[in-house]
Amino acid sequence: MIQINELSKKYKGADDFSVRDLNLTIENGEIFGLLGPNGAGKTTLISMLSSLLKPTSGHFTIDGLNYKDNKNQLKQLIGIVPQEYALYPSLTAYENLMYFGSMYGLKGQSLKDDVNTHLEAMGLAKFANKKIDAFSGGMKRRINLISSILHNPKVLFLDEPTVGVDVQSKNVIMAHLKELNTAGTTIIYTSHHLNEAEKFCTRVGIIDHGTLICLGKPQELIAQEENTENLEGVFLAKTGKALRDHA
Ligand X SMILES: Nc1ncnc2c1ncn2[C@@H]1O[C@H](COP(=O)(O)OP(=O)(O)OP(=O)(O)O)[C@@H](O)[C@H]1O
Q: Note whether 50 binds ligand X by CB under 6 A.
A: no
Site string (137-176) toward ligand X, x via CB under 6 A: ----------------------------------------
How far is it, in rounded angstroms, from Cα 75 to Cα 100? Answer: 13
Q: Which is nearer to ligand X, 39 or 233 (CB)?
A: 39
Which string of DSSP letters, residue by residue, matches 1-29?
A: -EEEEEEEE--TT-SS-SEEEEEEEE-TT
Q: Return the residue of 6, 14, 29, 102 that touches ligand X, per CB under 6 A.
A: 14
By the rule CB under 6 A, 18 interacts with ligand X: yes
Q: Identify the residue among 7, 30, 41, 170 touching ligand X (CB under 6 A).
A: 41
Any contact of residue 38 with ligand X (CB under 6 A)?
A: yes
CA-to-CA separations, 17 to 6, 7, 35, 153, 160, in angstroms, rounded: 13, 11, 18, 30, 22
Strand partners, 204: 33, 216
**Rounded to whole angstroms, how far apart are CA atoms 25 and 3?**
5
End-to-end CA gap in the chain: 36
Tell me the closest approach of the beta carbon of residue 200 to ligand X, in angstroms: 18
Cβ closer to ligand X: 103 or 213? Answer: 213
The residues pairing with 159 across neighbouring beta strands, listed in sequence order, are 190
223 binds ligand X, rule: CB under 6 A: no
Q: Does 44 bind ligand X (CB under 6 A)?
A: yes
Number of residues that bind ligand X (CB under 6 A): 11
Beta carbons within 10 angstroms of residue 15's beta carbon? 6
Question: Interacting stretch for ligand X, rule CB under 6 A, among 38-46, 54-62, 194-202, 225-233?
Answer: 38-46
Contact positions vs ligand X (CB under 6 A): 11, 14, 18, 36, 38-44
